[in-house]
Chains A and B, each alone.
Chain A
Amino acid sequence: MQRQRSLLVLILVLVIAAITVIVRFPIALGLDLQGGSQLTIQVKPSEEVKQITERELEAVQTVIENRVNGLGVSEPVVQTVGQDQILVQLPGVSDPEQAERVLGGTAQLDFRRENFETAALLNVRQKELSQLLLKQQELEQKGDTTAIAANQEQLQAKEKQIAELAESLFEPTGLTGKNLRNADAIPTQIGNNWSVGIEFDPRGGELFAELTKELAGTGRRLGIFLDDELISAPSVSSEFRQTGITGGRAEITGTFTAQSANELALQLRGGALPVPVEIVENRTVGATLGRDSIQRSIYAGVGGLILVLIFMVLYYRLPGLIADLALVIYALLTWATFALLGVTLTLPGIAGFILSIGMAVDANVLIFERTREELQTGKSLYRSVESGFYRAFSSILDGNVTTVIACAALFWLGAGLVRGFALTLGLGVAVSMFTAITCSRTFMLLAISFPALRKPELFCPNLPVSKKAEGAL
């Protein structure tokens, strides 16, 4: 009886602790429940970096983290997955397209200088092109079909020349995103204008000074290329002709709005990616849909629990009621365990939890069936309950261990949502073994210590009359 009492105290303490934990540590909801984007970013080897090592992955992660911070999402998660993937979670993101563009941009940032001769040549060719276009109009008015065709050919050749020239208009300088330290949108003093401030590392500062010294006042522009695409082409004013822009800092001015300045700064900041990346998975759930899922899960969970509770009382009578109590304690303890271990609850995770409620009853069912059998063979109530518990134990253990094996396999080998399910179901099974053996047993022995409850028919309906008398002893 002493052992019973201390167990009862233990259970009470656990329940109070569980309720405190549940109230004080809310469970984190997965993105599928609160809405948001989950992106998997694949890091790819490039010509320069043939193999992705931990170092590259870390570097990419840092860049991605910077880009994520630039998005202004609250509580983002950036973590590496396996050898060459990065998982980004953006809860409640309002513009998934922007996020995807900013994060998935290959973003090989590259500063190039405009070639003066090419620029001049390009100018000439463009004039030639406009002359040809004029000629075309004249010819069309005259309706000379052969001349039109000939002129058309010349036009196409000219366009091709221009395209080729345009491609070689900017030449690489060796200054790349690797040398860039930071970029920020800065409001200018006058009006609503914004500009973009950039900052280089020492080597980048030197290169930049050289580059700007060369370009200052010549009318040639500095081409900033992201992924071979021109994102900005500022020119350098003549005041820097002597030394270039030194000190590793510069400001790109122009007609920027707050948003465009911000986006350019973000692109520049993210430009330090050492290797290309690609978004290979995107799962975005709208906030309303997430809320809807939570509500439906609560209905499913509560509905399932109530059905099980009713069934147990109807079928097993008093022991059923005790099992119900144990089941409610089970639900509380499991939920508290999730909160303590920092489990992020996802939709499959909730399914795992609901399912574990159904399965948690199994241990009780095994025990009560045994107890009934023992009663039917004419054993006393106390002995029936006792042997019901220890005889069912081996079955309970075997059954639960096999479920845990399946959960472990899922947890180690599965990914994302699948792991959530494995974890919640596995934890649920473990807690259910504890509650079935400890709680149900303690309550059961407590119940039969009251003479009013010590009636075999409360434990086993339809017990033959002849056995009743014996059982009551």
Chain B
Amino acid sequence: MKLSVNKQRSLWWAISAAIILSGLIAMAISWRQIGTPLRPSLDFVGGTRLQLERDCSKPGNCDQPINITAVRETLASQGLGSSSIQVVGQDQQGVSIRTKTLNVEERTKLQTALREKIGAFDPKSTQIDTVGPTIGRQLLNSGLIALIVSFAGIMIYLSLRFQFDYAVLAIVALFHDVLIAVGIFSILGLVQGVEVDSLFIVALLTITGFSVNDTVVIYDRIREVLKLNPNQPINSVVDDAVNQTLARSLNTTLTTLLTLFAIFLFGGETLKNFALALIVGFIAGAYSSIFVASTLLSWWRERTTNQSQPVSAIASDAIDTSTRSDDA
């Protein structure tokens, strides 16, 4: 079976546009509701998260699930009524509380009050995260700078190895993938209350690397096919190149997804959203390199006539000599 990606390129673009658009709408709604396009975790805005688990080795301590109303009352009595509370754990013996930034006295007071109301907690299962508001901003800024720097770095590298327009289109595909991942997390934030933390920025950067990797392999092949058949119309060159690399694209995405699903299923709470972001991004990445990056290239080359073809032939010649010397 031969896939002709260029035939229905407006369909592929429409699918991408629809997903990106719904993400943008979610971001707009979220902006109006909470003032940010994504629901930020305390990593970025600061705050304290306390995760406490009852000590079930004590007799009678764990007879009942934790009463969320009692927790809420305790918090309200300490002036922390606006905190978010979640009962966690298999037997509902744990509670996760997110409040404004608490100092050690305030936190100890809260923990003591909770202990009196709910029962003894196991200090070995306690998790405390306190992030000051300034640190949160620093984390966000450094993350965004890392994102921009790596975009620039990838762009420069691709311009050197390929041509400037290849690089631009690869970056377009990259934005596509990042936008889809961000959009879907914005939707998840609205529907499920999913928060993004500093690992989400890490996920975006990994998606960046992976997405470009995928696009590069196809562009590499387009360049090669173009060199072998300089007079073939660009549409069929791109179709051929996509078909020749299709199995590879799918297999690589599949092997990576296998490990990601393993992290998603067994990796525990911290890594769950991280794995999910990568899964979304990598699927978007495979889609964009097969259906978007390739068709964009043929569309662009059609518009700029065939002047650019000889240039790309020279570029691939340079690569070829290097590989040939390797062979000898």
> Are B213 and A403 neighbours in the complex by a CB distance under 8 Å?
yes
Interface of A is mostly: helix
Structural contact, B267 and A300, CB atoms closer than 8 A: yes
Q: Which of B237-276 contact A (CB under 8 A)?
A: 244-245, 247-248, 251-252, 254-263, 265-268, 270-271, 274-275
Task: Report chain B residues within 8 Å CB of A299.
Answer: 262, 266
Task: List chain B residues, Cβ under 8 A from A37.
Answer: 128
* Interface mask (A353-377 → B, CB under 8 Å = 1, otherwise 0): 0110111011001100100010000
On chain B, which size bracket covers the interface?
35 or more
Which among A354, A410, A412 is the interface contact of B262 at CB below 8 angstroms? A354
Please tell me if the beta carbons of A104 and B104 are within 8 angstroms of each other in the complex: yes
A273-319 interface with B by 8 A CB criterion: 278-289, 292-293, 296-297, 299-301, 303-305, 307-308, 311-312, 315
Task: Pick the residue among A35, A282, A287, A351 that contacts B267 (CB under 8 A).
Answer: A351
> Which of A359, A365, A390 lies in contact with B251, CB distance below 8 A?
A365
Q: How far is the CA of A408 from the CA of B206 in the complex (A)?
A: 11
* Any A CB within 8 A of the CB of B194: no
- Asked whether, in the complex, the Cβ of A418 is within 8 Å of the Cβ of B202, the reply is yes
CB contact under 8 A between A351 and B127, given known A304-B263, A403-B209? no
Asked whether, in the complex, the Cβ of A405 is within 8 Å of the Cβ of B142, the reply is no
Q: Among A280, A286, A358, A394, which residue has its beta carbon within 8 angstroms of that of B127?
A: A286
| Whole-angstrom CA separation of A391 from B320 in the bound complex | 9
A10 in contact (CB, < 8 A): no
B167 to chain A, nearest CB (A): 11
Within 8 A of A (CB), among B105-135: 107-108, 122-132, 134-135
**Beyond A300-B267, A315-B251, A406-B150, is A97–B107 a contact (Cβ under 8 Å)?**
yes
Select which of B104, B147, B212, B278 is within 8 A of A101 by beta carbon.
Answer: B104
| B216 with A280: CB separation less than 8 A | no
Determine the chain B residues whose CB is within 8 A of the CB of A406 once the complex forms. Answer: 150, 153-154, 205-206, 208-209
Kindly supply a per-residue 1/0 record for chain A positions 171-206, scoring 1 wherever the CB is within 8 Å of any chain B CB and 0 otherwise. Answer: 000000000000000000000000000000000000
Query: Is B323 interfacial (CB 8 A cutoff)?
Result: yes
- In the bound complex, what is the Cα–Cα distance between A417 and B131 (angstroms)? 14
Partner of B124, one of A288, A304, A417: A288
Whether A410 contacts B202 in the complex (CB less than 8 A), given A283-B129, A351-B275, comes out as yes
B250–chain A nearest beta-carbon distance, Å: 10
The reply to whether B124 and A402 contact each other, CB–CB distance below 8 Å, is no
The interface of chain A, by Cβ under 8 A from chain B, is: 32, 35, 37, 40, 42, 94, 96-97, 100-101, 104, 278-289, 292-293, 296-297, 299-301, 303-305, 307-308, 311-312, 315, 347-348, 351, 354-355, 357-359, 361-362, 365-366, 369, 373, 386-387, 390-391, 393-395, 398-410, 412-415, 417-418, 421-422, 425
List the 4 closest A-B pairs by CB distance, nearest first: A304-B259, A280-B132, A304-B262, A399-B213
Interface residues of B (CB under 8 A from A): 103-104, 107-108, 122-132, 134-135, 138-139, 142-143, 145-147, 149-150, 153-154, 157-158, 161, 198-199, 201-202, 205-206, 208-210, 212-214, 216-217, 220-221, 244-245, 247-248, 251-252, 254-263, 265-268, 270-271, 274-275, 278, 319, 322-323, 326-327
List 10 A–B pairs whose Cβ atoms lie within 8 Å, in order of A's numbering: A100-B104, A280-B132, A281-B130, A365-B251, A399-B212, A399-B217, A406-B205, A407-B209, A408-B150, A412-B149
